[in-house]
Amino acid sequence: MLQQQAMDVMISNWSNVETVPESYTFPADRRPNEQASTAPFFKDLPVLDLESSLSDDANGTIQTILEACQELGCFQVINHGVSEALMDDTLSVFKEFFSLPAKYKASFFSNDPDKACRLYSSTLNYDKEEHHYWRDNFTHRCHPLEDYIHLWPQKPTRYREVVGRYSVEVRKLLMRILGLISEGLGIEDGYFEGELSKTQLISVNHHIPCPDPSLTLGMPEHCDPNLITALHQCDVLGLQVLKDGQWLGVEPLPHAFLVIPGLQLRVISNERLTSPKHRVVTHKEKARTTIGTFLIPSHEVLIEPAKALVKGSSHSTGPPVYRAFTYRDFFGAFTGKSCDAESALGCFKL
Ligand code: OGA
Ligand code: NI
């Protein structure tokens, strides 16, 4: 996309938006029936205090995590070891980033999924899609830090320092949670280390206020295709999770992370864990910025139901539901099936 075009499509460059442009207006059957202001809240979403509950009752905490990942698909963590000051600083760095001059941001604009750092609007398919989503997104790799940090923005000036520390800390937290999940499932310690969690992406969504949220979506409904996600929301409502056929709003809890198991956890756990469908709706008055940290398998690693969980083992969940596949093949199927989780997983079912 040409630089001028890139500057025009990014919603963070728009000002005084009074009406929703036609290309952002979804047809009636795809509009959000529940908006941020009307959707009921997700009231049973567990909030785990990692500090006190782990020291009081480690087994109970692990069981709560497993139950949350089995039934609801996600849970929140507090007292998780990432400092509040670092969370606040990182969020403000990203808010500042999105308010930088259009010309600077355009230098990162790309729809190439292989680009180390990419800023885009709506989806990577902007040029072909019929309706655009009301968001800008900035994504880049983070791990190992020394391989990528030199490719990151130099504005705001503290970007590399703050986002670097944040990525290291959130990775530690997610690895800790994966350790608890493997313990709870009964698969070997360290199972998720190495290739299965090798790639780390930070993916920041930014949505400006939308004059009519009933017409638009900030992000399509989807399941995260990765291994696991830690979502850090700002204080503006927008995220909704599908539970029993109903869209429920996830109320942002200050300094919490929402942990969302990805589709690879569903496969590795042989369907014991689920991966929730979620989407983002827009907000009438406020801009919303959220930071997703994704752990993703390397392209070549083989993914399959853990041996310890298939028939014949002590923690058996039954016969394997999936054959082994590489993450590259999975991701190809996922994008080839318009990011529909069930159809993509269906390609690998036994
Ligand atoms: C995602 C996602 C939700 C949000 O990036 O996969 O679901 O609230 N984000 O931004
Ligand atoms: Ni998601």
Which tens digit of pLDDT belongs to each residue from 24-50? Answer: 999 999 999 989 989 999 998 999 999
Whole-number pLDDT of residue 42: 92
Nearest CA to ligand 1 atom 6: 224
For ligand 1, what atom is nearest to the CA of residue 292? 5
Strands 136-141 and 117-121: antiparallel
Confidence of residue 55 (pLDDT cuts 50, 70, 90): confident
Q: Are 228 and 261 in contact (CB under 8 A)?
A: yes
> Which class for 2: exposed (0-12), middle (13-18), buried (19 or more C-beta within 10 A)?
exposed
CB atoms within 10 A of CB 108: 19
Confidence of residue 73 (pLDDT cuts 50, 70, 90): confident
Q: How far is the CA of 279 from the centre of ligand 2 (A)?
A: 7
Q: What is the mean pLDDT of residues 167-179?
A: 98
Nearest CA to ligand 1 atom 1: 292
Q: Which of 26, 28, 45, 69 is nearest to 248 (CA)?
A: 45
Torsion angle in degrees (nearest 10) through CA of 211, 214, 220, 223: 120
For ligand 1, what atom is nearest to the CA of residue 250? 8
Residues in contact with 68: Cβ distance below 8 Å, sequence separation at least 6, in sequence order:
45, 46, 74, 75
Residue with tokens 């698969």, as numbered in its chain: 187
Q: Are 330 and 348 in contact (CB under 8 A)?
A: yes
Please state, rounded to an integer, the average pLDDT across all residues of the chain. Answer: 95
CA 271 to chain centre: 20
Q: What CA–CA distances, in Å, run from 242 to 35, 142, 180, 222, 294?
A: 13, 30, 25, 10, 20
CATH C-level class of 2-300: mainly beta
How far apart, in whole angstroms, are the C-alpha atoms of residue 250 and residue 41? 6
Whole-number pLDDT of residue 16: 87
Q: Are 261 and 74 in contact (CB under 8 A)?
A: yes
Nearest CA to ligand 1 atom 8: 239
Dihedral sign for Cα 186, 187, 189, 192, please.
negative
Rg (C-alpha) for the chain, rounded Å, is 20
Task: Note the pLDDT tens digit of each residue in 202-224.
Answer: 999 999 999 999 999 999 999 99
How far apart, in whole angstroms, are the C-alpha atoms of residue 267 and residue 274? 9
Task: Note the pLDDT tens digit of each residue in 117-135.
Answer: 999 999 989 999 999 999 9
Q: Is 204 in the pocket of ligand 1 (CB under 6 A)?
A: no
∠ CA 126-139-236, rounded to 5°: 90
Q: Is 136 in the pocket of ligand 1 (CB under 6 A)?
A: no
Whole-number pLDDT of residue 281: 98
Dihedral sign for Cα 202, 203, 209, 214, please.
negative
Residues in contact with 104: Cβ distance below 8 Å, sequence separation at least 6, in sequence order:
155
Q: Is 203 in the pocket of ligand 1 (CB under 6 A)?
A: yes
Q: Please state, for a pLDDT cut of 70, what percent of the chain lies above it.
A: 100
Does residue 251 have a pLDDT over 90?
yes
Whole-number pLDDT of residue 56: 87
Q: Which of 211, 108, 223, 220 is nearest to 154 (CA)?
A: 108
Strands 47-49 and 75-78: parallel
Task: Note the pLDDT tens digit of each residue in 281-301.
Answer: 999 999 999 999 999 999 999
Whole-number pLDDT of residue 226: 98
How far apart, in whole angstroms, are the C-alpha atoms of residue 220 and residue 236? 18
Q: Is 205 in the pocket of ligand 1 (CB under 6 A)?
A: yes
Strand residue runs (E) in the chain = 47-49, 75-78, 117-121, 136-141, 199-207, 219-222, 228-233, 239-243, 246-249, 257-261, 278-280, 288-296, 302-303, 325-326
Position 238, amino acid: G
Q: Looking at 4-18, 166-180, 252-266, 310-324, which range is the least confident one? A: 310-324
